[in-house]
């Protein structure tokens, strides 16, 4: 089983996730820790659970999701995993952050590419990589079929969807991603989003005002 722990970090209130199994292996998804106290909160949790971080993953690379990439990589000696189309987004993140008054030091280490359809192994547990662009050109979601949840990044929210007015955004593409990659999952699938509270696939299919099931 891959348990989920959520942190809400930085002034943009981004959700960072730590997924961990019974053996103590864990992955860190979208580390948005900006302030030193946020970085230490992440460290304290991992130490308190006696976890062994084995993967650093980005759903996408907008500034609020990557503030902590460099810290996590250097603290636990982890390369960054991302979709190839997000490399340019990552490179632009510091400039974007300056416009928000949130300067930071970007990750510049090894990058390992996430390919749609591939499976990420964390011990005996698996995350399926779903290609869900539209909010960002290389957005991916991580689906845990066994435990019944998906980490959707900024693709699907409770009662909303990701914005598409940023560079590389495309509403039609986002709508197709949600319909063909997320709404095909079982209704009971929990959705852990990049901002705000959780929801479920079934609830969003019936009530999301932006993308309804056909």
Say if residue 73 is exposed, middle or buried (CB neighbours under 10 Å; 0-12, 13-18, 19+).
Answer: buried
Confidence band for 212, pLDDT divided at 50, 70 and 90: confident
Task: Tell whether 36 is covered by a domain.
Answer: yes
Task: Tell whether 186 is covered by a domain.
Answer: yes
Please give the pLDDT value at position 205. 97
With 90 as the cut, is the pLDDT of residue 210 above it?
A: yes
User: Could you write out the DSSP letters of every residue in the chain?
Assistant: --EEEEEEETTTTEEEEEEE-TTSEEEEES----SHHHHHHHHHHHHHTT-EEEEEE-S---HHHHTTHHHHHHHHT--EEE-GGGHHHHHHHHHHHHHTT---PPP-S-EEE--TT-EEEETTEEEEEEE--SSSTT-EEEEETTTTEEEEETSEETTEE----STT--HHHHHHHIIIIITTS-TT-EEEESSS--EEHHHHHHH-SSS---
Please give the pLDDT value at position 213. 77
% of the chain at pLDDT higher than 70: 100
Sign of CA dihedral 163, 164, 166, 167: positive
**79 phi and psi angles, rounded to 5 deg:** -75, 160
With 80 as the cut, is the pLDDT of residue 54 above it?
A: yes
Instruction: State the pTM of this model.
Output: 0.97
Task: Tell whether 212 is covered by a domain.
Answer: no
Q: How many angstroms from the chain centroid is the CA of residue 201?
A: 17
Task: Tell whether 121 is covered by a domain.
Answer: yes
User: What is the chain's mean pLDDT, rounded?
Assistant: 97
pLDDT, average across residues 204-210: 96
Please give the pLDDT value at position 146. 97
pLDDT tens-digit series, residues 16-53: 999 999 999 999 999 999 999 999 999 999 999 999 99
Number of other residues whose CB lies within 10 A of the CB of residue 88: 13
Task: Tell whether 214 is covered by a domain.
Answer: no
Domain tally for the chain? 1
Task: Tell whether 124 is covered by a domain.
Answer: yes
CATH number for position 151: 3.60.15.10
Task: Tell whether 213 is covered by a domain.
Answer: no
Give the integer Cα–Cα distance in Å for 147 and 107: 31
Domain span holding position 71: 3-207
Task: Tell whether 93 is covered by a domain.
Answer: yes
Residues with Cβ within 8 Å of 95's Cβ and at least 6 positions away in sequence, in order, are: none
pLDDT, average across residues 51-72: 98
């Amino acid at each position: 089983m891959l348990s989920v722990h959520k942190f809400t970090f930085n002034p943009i209130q981004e959700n960072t996730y730590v997924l961990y199994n019974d053996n103590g292996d864990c992955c860190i998804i979208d580390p948005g820790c900006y302030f030193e106290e946020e970085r230490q909160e992440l460290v304290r949790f991992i130490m308190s659970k006696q976890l062994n971080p084995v993967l650093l993953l980005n759903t996408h690379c907008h500034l609020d999701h990557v503030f902590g990439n460099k810290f996590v990589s250097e603290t636990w000696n982890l390369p960054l995993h991302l979709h190839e189309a997000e490399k340019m987004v990552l490179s632009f993140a510091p400039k974007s952050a300056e416009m928000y008054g949130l300067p930071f030091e970007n990750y510049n280490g090894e990058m390992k590419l996430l390919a749609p359809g591939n499976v990420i192994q964390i011990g005996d547990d698996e995350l399926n990589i779903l290609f869900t662009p539209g909010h960002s050109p290389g957005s991916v979601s991580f689906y845990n079929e066994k435990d019944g949840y998906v980490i959707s990044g900024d693709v699907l929210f409770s009662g909303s969807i990701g914005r598409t007015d940023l560079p590389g955004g495309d509403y039609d593409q986002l709508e197709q991603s949600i319909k063909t990659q997320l709404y095909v999952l079982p209704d009971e699938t929990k959705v852990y989003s990049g901002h705000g509270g959780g929801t479920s696939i079934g609830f969003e299919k019936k009530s999301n005002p932006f993308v309804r099931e056909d």
